[in-house]
Structure 1
Amino acid sequence: MTANRLEAEEIDWTPAAAPPPPPPARRPRRFGSLEILALLLVLLVVLRSWLAGLVTGERLQTWTTVFVSVLVQAVPFLVFGVVLSAVIAVYVPKSFWAKALPKHPALAVPAAGLAGVILPGCECGSVPIAGSLIRRGVTPAAALAFLLAAPAINPIVLTATAVAFPGNPEMVVARGGASLVVAVAMGWLWLRLGKTEWIRLPHRPDLDGASKAQAFWSSCRHDVTHAGGYLVLGAAAAATINVVVPGEWLQRLADNPVLSILALAVLAVLLSICSEADAFVAASLSQFSLTSRLVFLVVGPMVDLKLIAMQTGVFGRRFVQRFAPATFVAAILVGTAAGAVLL
């Protein structure tokens, strides 16, 4: 019996069946920015009567009027731009840009800048798109020209500018022309002086392997929550400036051409308003000249706090330390020149 058992053990070499893999662990549901936004909206609806009782003072009513008017005018353009930006980012073939742009880098820069006219989107969407273009083989100079031009000269932004400045159609021409000149000039400057090692190529692991529908909704959710949040902050800041800052201070600052331009350029960086909405905030700063408000509109979509943060995450700190200050100076100079000629 013992010999037979040993013989059986020597003959039976069939490997034991592997245990079934454990079921994938379910990721815990996170309470993210979209849920916080929904909760705030619900609280506003529930507490609307109590909040209405607080808005009794004249200055507070003025603040509320300016804040709500900026949001009501800007939100449709913001949502429309976010949706179109997601469509372009997800459904345009990856090889489109490499085939569409000229092979020569110097010619690809203005071509990429002009492409912003037909590709709507805000600066929040242009940063990852520009990173993807570089990763797909597009010359960095052309991708950076698109990065600067697309949020400022696309039809949605120009239409919003026309709506915000109904009596000044020249503002639309000045904004589009100045923004395109800055974008192309910065692209050529990078082509001349930029170095490849200054750019850290992007990676989007959250979209890897996702279906087009999932990537589309993920892009929409990301851009709406981020750009919408900055829009609310910008509207609140514009309303606060109109109410808190004494009118004579603003008027004194606005009367100085140089200081008014520099002040609104810095304000554009600090407010970080989405390009689909910044024209309405600029229109509310009626104390300032059209030229200074034009500089505000040229600087904002190219250099602001959220863009500096996003570009640092996508391209790296060495890139931002060189690119952002140069773009800021160029936007002020070109915007001022355009205002002097066209406004």
Structure 2
Amino acid sequence: MSLTKSAPDEAEPVGEPTGEPIGEPAEELGGEPGEQPRHLTSPLLLVLTLLTAVMFQDTIRRALTAPVTQSWMTVFVAVVLQALPFLVCGVLLSAAIAVFVPPSFFARALPRRPALAVPVAGAAGAVLPGCECASVPVAGALVRRGVTPAAALAFLLSAPAVNPIVLTATAVAFPNDPEMVLARFVASLLAACVMGWLWHRLGRADWLRPPARPSHGGRSRGAAFWESVRHDVMHAGGFLVIGATAAATLKAVVPAEWLRAAAGDPVLSVLALAALAVLLSLCSEADAFVAASLTQFSATARLTFLVVGPMVDLKLFAMQAGTFGRAFALRFAPATFVTAVAVSALTGAVLL
């Protein structure tokens, strides 16, 4: 009898602890409706978008067929399709040169005297067919390898504007104005050299923080190349879309009398397009097509847009601050803006 009674007594403690743990996971797997995470998934977003399009199809159809919308889409597509081949080519060549050409090559090729190294470095910008996104890390590598900062900064400013890809894109964007290509080359190179000489004369060592680590972080060259391509495509492509959107909006939405008022004043038109270049932050391979679409403005104002954009814009300021320090960017960017505007106005008055 004692054996038959003790078996259930010993079995009960085994069953009691295992009963609750079995029930708790069941509740967790089933889940309470309020405890389940709720987030907007891609299929749900697609369904909501399609439902919205169906509900407002008449309104959307009228908006798409409006003359303003048709004009906007025409300008937007034209700017993007014209600039895209040059953007892709520039990104590939820029990544290849930045990864496979050692920075020491530029250090050996430059004169030792800073006053002579500045124009040589500015002219050497033609060997980097890429946008300003590539010139900042290369300039940082030059400073890290011992190149005088004045020469490295002249290279940083000239490379995005005087390389063959950008000049070819400018020629395609301005087929009836070949002098625009020469004016852009001269103004960009001259502004870069002036800033290099100014930094050599007035710049202080504590204003510039040399980058402390290599650009590619010890990765293989192949991995660094594709990382550079992905980075430049995402950034430059996004800025191209923003620029094309702004250009199309200016053409289609902004009243013509507003543009004529800004474009009619020689000084105001130059300052307006200089400020627009800073705000749009376009890639240098694509800005010529946006500038060509701004037909209300004078040739000198559009030249200013082409010279200022690759030297001073919002993304460049952030990149320069991250590479050389905030103290450098806060001094260098405003001085570059004033120099680029002044040189562009002078060059435009002479060549255009």
User: Which range, TM-score by smaller chain?
Assistant: 0.7 to 0.9
Q: Distance in 2 between matches of 1:196 and 1:206?
A: 22
Please state whether the residue corresponding to 2:127 is helix, strand or coil.
Answer: coil
Kindly provide the amino acid, as one letter, of the partner of residue 128 in structure 1. P
Aligned with residue 277 of structure 1, among 286, 290, 306: 286
Contact kept, 8 Å, 2:86 with 2:286, in 1: the verdict is yes
Task: Give unmatched runs, 5+ long, in structure 2.
Answer: 1-41
Q: Distance in 2 between matches of 1:243 and 1:151?
A: 30
Q: 1:161 Cα shift?
A: 0.5
Aligned to 1:77: 86
Aligned to 2:310: 301
Q: 1:94 Cα shift?
A: 3.3
Q: How many residue pairs align between the two structures?
A: 299
Task: Give unmatched runs, 5+ long, in structure 1.
Answer: 1-38
Contact kept, 8 Å, 2:142 with 2:152, in 1: the verdict is yes
Q: 1:206 Cα shift?
A: 7.2
Q: Give TM-score, length-normalised by structure 1.
A: 0.84
Deviations 1:235-292 (A, max 9, x none): 1011111111101110121111111011001011011100000000000000001011
Larger radius of gyration: 2
Please state whether the residue corresponding to 1:117 is helix, strand or coil.
Answer: helix
| Bigger share in helix | 2
Q: 1:205 Cα shift?
A: 6.7
Aligned to 1:212: 221
Matches within 5 A, 1:41-80: 53=61, 55-80=64-89
Aligned to 1:152: 161
Q: Distance in 1 between matches of 2:102 and 2:258?
A: 52
Aligned to 1:328: 337
Q: Distance in 1 between matches of 2:216 and 2:350?
A: 45
Aligned with residue 135 of structure 1, among 126, 131, 144: 144
Aligned with residue 258 of structure 2, among 241, 246, 249: 249
Aligned to 2:349: 340
- Identical aligned pairs, as a percentage? 68
Q: 1:87 Cα shift?
A: 0.7
Aligned with residue 199 of structure 1, among 204, 208, 213: 208
Aligned with residue 233 of structure 2, among 219, 224, 235: 224
Question: Which segments of structure 1 move beyond 3 Å, counting only runs of 4 or more?
Answer: 49-54, 203-206
Q: 1:105 Cα shift?
A: 1.2
Please state whether the residue corresponding to 1:274 is helix, strand or coil.
Answer: coil
Deviations 1:65-86 (A, max 9, x none): 1111110011111111111111
Q: Give TM-score, length-normalised by structure 2.
A: 0.82
Deviations 1:66-118 (A, max 9, x none): 11111001111111111111111110123211111111111111110000122
Deviations 1:313-332 (A, max 9, x none): 11111001111111101111
Answering whether residue 178 of structure 2 is matched by residue 169 of structure 1, we say: yes
Q: 1:204 Cα shift?
A: 5.3
Contact kept, 8 Å, 2:141 with 2:214, in 1: the verdict is no
Aligned to 1:94: 103
Q: Distance in 2 between matches of 1:206 and 1:119?
A: 16
